[in-house]
Amino acid sequence: MTDRYILYSAVGSGGVAVEAALTLMGQPYALVEAPTFAFDAPEAGDRVLAANPLRQVPALVLPSGEVMTESAAILVRLGELHPEAGLAPRLDDPRRAAFLRWMSFVSSAIYAHYWLKDDPSRLVADASLWADVDRRIEARILECWAVMEAGAAPVGRYILGEALTVLDLYVAVVSRFRPRRQAFAAVAPRLGEVARRVDTEPRLAALWAERYPFEPGWDVRPLLT
Ligand SMILES: N[C@@H](CCC(=O)N[C@@H](CS)C(=O)NCC(=O)O)C(=O)O
């Protein structure tokens, strides 16, 4: 038992969505920086192995000592554990089905692609094919965002209506991954507006600045090498 959460995360990673959720929930947490995708310095990323044998962030150690991996599950569970923050529809809320559907969709249809996108050599040995693999993954990611735009049909200030939820935090962070926000907003303009709203959430200004800064060109698709 501890008095706080322990979060394994990294600057510019999906773990920042969990950091944002804990911040809005007013929950203190100890941060273990584990940049799993810094291929030049593997030792730092190895820190997360203490909590996740897949060597991925985020991983959250609950005050009970139980470990949770999987960003969507972590965010949903935090919403359940801290209902007073109002960041997730409760079990009997009519928005609950859509909430679970799209949390899971972002995780499985979109976020999961980055295991290969970040390092195509994991499945494709021929280096001359990596740029093509990358392009095809990007096309699939954008196709999935377009499906979510049509299916989730955000109509209010946020995806599920007028209240910010962890789904908005999740989309705001994952849509920052390559091909980045401009390409995302081109296929999913209403989700793009929601993401911009989350970017400007005053309670998260310090967190974004420190953990996922809006540096020049941050939203532009990088050139393929
Ligand atoms: N299914 C996992 C995916 C997490 C994930 O891919 N995290 C990235 C950082 S954004 C990572 O640690 N990548 C290193 C790797 O996959 O080797 C989740 O949703 O939490």
Residue 225 has pLDDT above 70, yes or no: no
Tens digit of pLDDT for each residue in 107-156? 999 999 999 999 999 999 999 999 999 999 999 999 999 999 999 988 89
Q: Ligand 1 centroid to 29 CA: how many Å?
A: 20
Ligand 1 atom, smallest distance to 12 CA: 10
Provide the pLDDT for residue 224. 66
Query: Which residue's CA lies nearest to atom 12 of ligand 1?
Result: 56
- 206 inside domain: no
Provide the pLDDT for residue 88. 98
Q: Please tell me if the CB atom of residue 56 comes closer than 6 angstroms to any atom of ligand 1.
A: yes
Provide the pLDDT for residue 137. 98
Identify whether residues 176 and 116 lie together within a single domain.
yes
User: What CATH number did the domain enclosing 22 receive?
Assistant: 3.40.30.10
Tens digit of pLDDT for each residue in 169-191? 999 999 999 999 999 999 999 99
With 0-12 CB in 10 A as exposed, 13-18 as middle and 19+ as buried, what is 28?
Answer: exposed
Residue type, 78: L
State which residues form the domain around 25.
5-85
Q: Which of 85, 106, 122 is the last residue of a domain?
A: 85
With 0-12 CB in 10 A as exposed, 13-18 as middle and 19+ as buried, what is 145?
Answer: buried
Asked if omega into 58 is within 30° of 0 (cis), the reply is: yes
Strand order in the sheet with 59-61: 29-33, 5-9, 59-61, 67-69
Asked if 71 and 10 touch (Cβ cutoff 8 Å), the reply is no
Identify whether residues 160 and 124 lie together within a single domain.
yes
Q: Please tell me if the CB atom of residue 52 comes closer than 6 angstroms to any atom of ligand 1.
A: no
CA distance 203 to 87: 14
- Confidence band of 38 (pLDDT split at 50, 70, 90): confident
Q: Which of 85, 117, 136 is the last residue of a domain?
A: 85
Q: Please tell me if the CB atom of residue 115 comes closer than 6 angstroms to any atom of ligand 1.
A: yes
Asked if 41 and 11 touch (Cβ cutoff 8 Å), the reply is no
Q: What is the mean pLDDT of residues 49-65?
A: 98
Pairwise pLDDT comparison (38 vs 113), residue with the higher score:
113
Provide the pLDDT for residue 153. 87
Q: What is the mean pLDDT of residues 89-117?
A: 98
CA distance 151 to 211: 30
Identify whether residues 21 and 79 lie together within a single domain.
yes
User: What CATH number did the domain enclosing 134 receive?
Assistant: 1.20.1050.10
Identify whether residues 101 and 179 lie together within a single domain.
yes
CA distance 197 to 41: 34
Q: Ligand 1 centroid to 11 CA: how many Å?
A: 13
- Residue 203: both structure tokens together: 């309670």
Identify whether residues 68 and 18 lie together within a single domain.
yes
Q: Please tell me if the CB atom of residue 9 comes closer than 6 angstroms to any atom of ligand 1.
A: no
- 212 inside domain: no
Q: Please tell me if the CB atom of residue 214 comes closer than 6 angstroms to any atom of ligand 1.
A: no
Q: Using only the alpha carbons of the chain, give its radius of gyration.
A: 17
Identify whether residues 114 and 169 lie together within a single domain.
yes
Closest listed residue to residue 138, CA positions, set 168, 177, 194: 177
Instruction: Provide the number of structural domains found in the chain.
Output: 2
CA distance 180 to 212: 13
Residue 56 has pLDDT above 70, yes or no: yes
Identify whether residues 182 and 102 lie together within a single domain.
yes
Identify whether residues 184 and 119 lie together within a single domain.
yes
Quote the mean pLDDT of the chain.
Answer: 96
- 210 inside domain: no
Q: Please tell me if the CB atom of residue 170 comes closer than 6 angstroms to any atom of ligand 1.
A: no
